[in-house]
Structure 1
Amino acid sequence: MRRHEERHGALEDHAAVAAARAAAPEFEARVLHRARKLGVREGWHDAILRWHGRVRLLLAVAAVLALVLGFGAAAGVLGDGGRAVNVVWALGGLLGVNLFSLLLWILATLLSRGGRGARTGVSGGLWLRLPSFFERSPAATELPLALGGLPGWSRAASWGVGAAGHALWALALLAAAAGMLALLAMRRYGFVWETTILPSGVFAWLVDALGRLPALLGFPVPDAATIVASGDAPMLEESGRRAWSGWLLGALLVYGVLPRAVLALACMVLWRRSLQRLRLDLSRPGYARLRPLLLPDSERIGVRDPEPAVMPRPVRHAARLAGSGGPALVALELGGDLAWPPSAGGGGSVSAGLAAFDAGRLDSREQRREALARFGAQPPCRLLVAVDPRRTPDRGNLGVIAGLADHAVETRVWALGAGDSSGEAMESRLPQWREGLARLGFAPEVLILGETAARDWLEGRELERMP
């Protein structure tokens, strides 16, 4: 996707960007989700599936060829039984090319690990591009190039190619072992070793050294007498032929099939780990263009904490206390244009009387905690909470009012300034304040609008019991 947009311009992606931003919080995950959405729309997803199918088909064809070539190698080495089998040439013919290719792979792996930029090599590049030969669409052509451009892909691809190569060699050698076993079961072979300048002791030592590991798995090893006798004439005795047959089969399995199978399994594990560590190079310009779209500085997340159906109601613990404090007046998050304490507004004796009960402003969390602690120690007999009626009541404000009411015998809420002025914002929010207070269990008369009514209630001139 990045390669295409860098060459041909950005695609229309409003729906994909919205889906990506809703699907994951991380930038890289959002980039991948967006690419997946656009890939389905542009046809790259189907091209990748076809590419995977061709890779699996090529691996299946290679596996069949490996089985056929392995069986054919065993038949070529043993022959039709009309001549004696040279055990040294037979073992070298079955394992020689395998060992040579294994040494080349080890050397290439060591060289690639020694360099800073590991490459997949000729075989890795061929495996990447070979499936594209069967389809000439632009999407199929871009796939191997896009894979090769991923950071860390070269190392992952080397392990993947190694796993496939070792698995094919293991299949070929296993087919050779199966072919050898079938031919030995159906034909009678004689075994011999030949030399002009080497003594028989050299072959005896070689046969014994190569037979030690297979012997641990139960494969037979010819004894010294059988080895010496096989140097003069083909071994035709029944026990000698079985010993040589078991020695050849065991050496092929232990030194051929087993190492390749272990290496294939190890490369498969390393390949999967390398794939898990693959990451996008987010410093590229193509990804930098997507960052403000997929990871903006701010975004609307909607309501994450919905309002409960039933608001918590004050339990009025202070109403059951015998010794209560005097009246108190507090201000809850007033606007900057509303003077506090009330005497600062120049309201004469009325405001001065209210200021006498002032217990402070509650604008911060610390101030609210201090007020709750103070009222908890000495609950007021009457508590008047002044609010700004121009603001919309939220759960935070209503929760503070409920907590304050829990520490007072009687509580009223004063819409500061509502009785002296009017405005569209204030008139539209007063019903919301009444509704919010009603959900807390307060009666409608708990909301006081005028300054005179507020002072009279604090001074006890108009006592009203809450239901």
Structure 2
Amino acid sequence: MREKLKSLWLTETIHLIESQSGRFADQDINRQVKAMPTSLVNRIVMRATLLSKQNGLYLAQKVMLRSIKLSFLLLLFFSLFIGSSLTFGALSQNPINLYWALFSLLGVHFITLIIWLCSLLFFSRFGGSLLIHCWLWIAEKLYQKKTVKQLVPAFVSLFGYRIHWLLGFVLNLFWTVILTSALIVLLVLFSTQHYSFEWKTTLLSADSITQLTHYLGYLPSWFGFSIPKDEVIKLSEHALSAGDIRSSWAIWLLGVFIFYGLIVRLFLMIFCGVIWMLSSRKLKLNLDDPDYQILARQLQPLVTNVEDEDKLGEIRWQLPISQIEEGHGIYLVAVDIVDSWKPATIVPFYGFLNTREQRIAILDYLQLKPAKKLLIAIDTDRAPDRGLLNFIQQLINKSQQSRIWFINQGKQFHNWQSLSLPLANPNWLEQDN
């Protein structure tokens, strides 16, 4: 499967999980995505990819695809066995009953072909093949609990009617392998064994058998598979041992088998495969979905003058930070400190990060321009709770070098010390290293 389709599949899976269980904690991932100057669809897909790697869904998809490929290979080998069994069953007696052998070789093929065509035309929700169900059952046993249950429903939701062409391609591929294996064994046996041919009937006359033989051999005769002469057909009510008669019946049988069996499945395999590839290339996310509409508003780009390719040229601007002074990537910020505090330093001071809007602004800015050096001023009267520590960690992650500056020895000083954070004073910002 192409990487684009796998990414869209992951995106739809994330969408399904979030519609059922609520949004993921995606603020930092959204910030990373908004910093990318690309289209809306790419931002949505990138967000889903990052979330999938974070929560294990990306690995679950890999496990599922690996299991499906392995089960596919197992069924291909099984198809080789089925094909050879068909031939050995059809040629189990000598002399060979021509029409019984033909039914043995092509009977199951025609029955499954009719079932698949009916399911495709009239029963769109029916898989239409025992081989397909076996394939999916084996794959499920291989990946067991190592995947996410929403992956399969998301795949169905994303690809919709296109799945029928994928299943048709796989099914006809299996049958192409089965019939190819049967043909190879048939050629080997005809080349190494003496077989005599006869036809038997209770209801039909010799003339009916002759007409039926001509009807079946008409199209294969265009490709060089000759039809036995009428007198040979009538005399073959009893097995004849003449070499040219045996050869003419063998060629007729091969022609009918190849034309009505192998070529039919090969054509259907190619036809379904081409439609699947063409239709899957046109696959797009349904951006009219209300959830995607909300996500689109939340993923507006951070950088200015980014043209959203998905909105037919509509240009959107967003200036997350306009008041910051350039300081060669060296900044001082104050977290949860009263506005009356004045830092005694000459390095650029971004300001106080006491509100949600201020914190979002600095994180957005550092996402675009990570700091070379960042000094985080902390008031140790403030308890080191989980939310504050998480914000400090986000600041650290978006800086090449970062240090903590305790501006006092407050009530929670010992608790802050126990965290073993990298400490420094404002002089550290002015140093060259």
Q: Same fold (TM over 0.5)?
A: yes
Which amino acid letter does the alignment assign opposite residue 318 of structure 2?
E
1:411-460 deviation line (CA, Å, top 9, x unaligned): xxxxxxxxxxxxxxxxxxxxxxxxxxxxxxxxxxxxxxxxxxxxxxxxxx
From the superposition, tell whether residues 3 and 139 of structure 1 become closer, same or farther in structure 2 (CA, over 3 Å): farther
- TM-superposed CA distance for 1:260, in Å, is 0.4
Contact 1:71 1:179 in 2 (8 A): yes
Contact 2:127 2:133 in 1 (8 A): yes
Quote the Cα distance in structure 2 between the aligned partners of 1:204 and 1:108. Answer: 35
**Counterpart position of 2:43:** 30
- TM-superposed CA distance for 1:130, in Å, is 5.2
- TM-superposed CA distance for 1:128, in Å, is 5.6
Which amino acid letter does the alignment assign opposite residue 299 of structure 1?
Q
From the superposition, tell whether residues 188 and 128 of structure 1 become closer, same or farther in structure 2 (CA, over 3 Å): closer
Contact 1:132 1:140 in 2 (8 A): no
Which amino acid letter does the alignment assign opposite residue 273 of structure 1?
L
Kindly indicate whether structure 1 or structure 2 has the higher relative contact order, using CA contacts under 8 Å at least 6 residues apart. Answer: 2
- Please, which of 63, 75, 79 is the counterpart of residue 62 of structure 1? 75
From the superposition, tell whether residues 206 and 23 of structure 1 become closer, same or farther in structure 2 (CA, over 3 Å): farther
Quote the Cα distance in structure 1 between the aligned partners of 2:63 and 2:137. Answer: 14
Quote the Cα distance in structure 2 between the aligned partners of 1:119 and 1:88. Answer: 36
**Counterpart position of 1:144:** 152
Is 1:21 matched with 2:16? no
- Please, which of 286, 300, 303 is the counterpart of residue 319 of structure 2? 300
Quote the Cα distance in structure 1 between the aligned partners of 2:37 and 2:232. Answer: 72
- Please, which of 242, 249, 263 is the counterpart of residue 268 of structure 2? 263
- TM-superposed CA distance for 1:147, in Å, is 1.2
- TM-superposed CA distance for 1:61, in Å, is 1.1
- Please, which of 136, 139, 159 is the counterpart of residue 131 of structure 1? 139
Which amino acid letter does the alignment assign opposite residue 74 of structure 2?
V
**Counterpart position of 2:98:** 87
RMSD of equivalent CA atoms: 2.4
1:126-145 deviation line (CA, Å, top 9, x unaligned): 76665233334373322112
- Please, which of 159, 167, 177 is the counterpart of residue 165 of structure 2? 159
Contact 1:120 1:154 in 2 (8 A): no
Contact 1:128 1:144 in 2 (8 A): no
**Counterpart position of 1:176:** 182
1:397-408 correspondence runs (5 A): none
- Please, which of 291, 297, 302 is the counterpart of residue 286 of structure 1? 291
From the superposition, tell whether residues 209 and 48 of structure 1 become closer, same or farther in structure 2 (CA, over 3 Å): same
Quote the Cα distance in structure 1 between the aligned partners of 2:192 and 2:318. Answer: 78
What TM-score do the two structures reach when normalised by structure 2? 0.63
**Counterpart position of 1:73:** 86
From the superposition, tell whether residues 58 and 38 of structure 1 become closer, same or farther in structure 2 (CA, over 3 Å): same
- Please, which of 190, 212, 223 is the counterpart of residue 206 of structure 1? 212
Work out which of the two has the higher radius of gyration on C-alpha atoms and give 1 or 2: 1
What TM-score do the two structures reach when normalised by structure 1? 0.58
Is 1:106 matched with 2:117? yes
Range with greater deviation from structure 2 (53-62 or 134-143):
134-143
Quote the Cα distance in structure 1 between the aligned partners of 2:208 and 2:234. Answer: 11
Is 1:197 matched with 2:200? no
Deviation above 4 Å: which 4+ runs of structure 1? 122-130
For structure 2, the 5+ residue unaligned runs are 1-13, 302-315, 323-433
Q: Secondary structure at the match of 1:119?
A: coil
Quote the Cα distance in structure 2 between the aligned partners of 1:171 and 1:64. Answer: 9
* Percent sequence identity over aligned pairs: 27
For structure 1, the 5+ residue unaligned runs are 113-117, 304-467
- TM-superposed CA distance for 1:122, in Å, is 6.1
Quote the Cα distance in structure 1 between the aligned partners of 2:264 and 2:172. Answer: 9
Contact 1:119 1:154 in 2 (8 A): no
Contact 2:34 2:43 in 1 (8 A): yes
Contact 1:120 1:157 in 2 (8 A): no
From the superposition, tell whether residues 291 and 201 of structure 1 become closer, same or farther in structure 2 (CA, over 3 Å): same
Quote the Cα distance in structure 2 between the aligned partners of 1:128 and 1:21. Answer: 38
- TM-superposed CA distance for 1:286, in Å, is 3.3
Residue correspondences, number? 293
**Counterpart position of 2:360:** none
1:94-151 deviation line (CA, Å, top 9, x unaligned): 1111112112222222225xxxxx536365777666523333437332211221222x
1:284-324 deviation line (CA, Å, top 9, x unaligned): 44324322211376423999xxxxxxxxxxxxxxxxxxxxx
Is 1:220 matched with 2:226? yes
From the superposition, tell whether residues 146 and 263 of structure 1 become closer, same or farther in structure 2 (CA, over 3 Å): same
